[in-house]
Amino acid sequence: MTKVEKVDFVINTLEKIYPEVPIPLDHKDPYTLLIAVLLSAQSTDARVNTITPLLFKKADNPYNMIKLSIEEIREIIKPVGLSPMKSKGIYGLSKILIEKYNGKVPKDIEALEELPSVGHKTASVVISQAFGIPAFPVDTHIHRLLYRWNLSNGKNVTQTERDAKRLFPKKRWNKLHLQIIYYGREYSPARGWNLEKDIITKTIGRKSVIKEQLKK
């Protein structure tokens, strides 16, 4: 199977399994999505979705957020982990959004990356999911799967993102990155992986990965 055929197989398979892909983090606008994505670092979407209603009840916009102290924010978001850094980031970026962007989340990825605690992946998620601008955020699932599928050498997420953008049509990036995340969680997890259920890896996967899995 050529690389083009592999890419087509991935797209067609994911489209059959996940014709619709809801955004996994609950939000109502770009600001609440930005906060939710920031909170999801080294946490699960499910856990974040239990905490954001508590936070957004008190502050669902930057103006109300800076009325809270960093300590108050930290107390609410403790269960998602890394709360000292995240609470400072939430307060700091909210202040900058008011001072620099009239309280609005910018649609520009470079501007987003300049905000406290906002890295490239978080910025990519926001521009793709909040504004529909093509991006290919690479999380651990996408990084793992593109390596397993022999579509990237898996050295780092930057390389994986570059490979993904090169291989997949731009018009599909926003939906596809969500489809791969859902597929990774359901069929190709890091632990408890059953190759028989993982039709994509079984069909196009890296031979060394398949061989190693069959030994287990």
> Which residues belong to the active site?
121, 139
Residue indicated by tokens 């022999």: 150
Task: Give kind and range of the element (H or E) at residue 135.
Answer: none
How far apart are the C-alpha atoms of 159 and 1, rounded to whole Å?
A: 23
CB 64 within 8 A of CB 101: no
Instruction: Transcribe 190-201 into DSSP letters.
Output: SSS--TTT-HHH
How far apart are the C-alpha atoms of 96 and 127, rounded to whole Å?
A: 18
Residue indicated by tokens 């359901």: 186
Structure tokens at 21: 């892909």
Three-state secondary structure string covering 110-139: HHHHCCCCCCHHHHHHHHHHCCCCCCCCCC
CA angle 172, 173, 179 (to 5 degrees): 85
How far apart are the C-alpha atoms of 144 and 154, rounded to whole Å?
A: 7
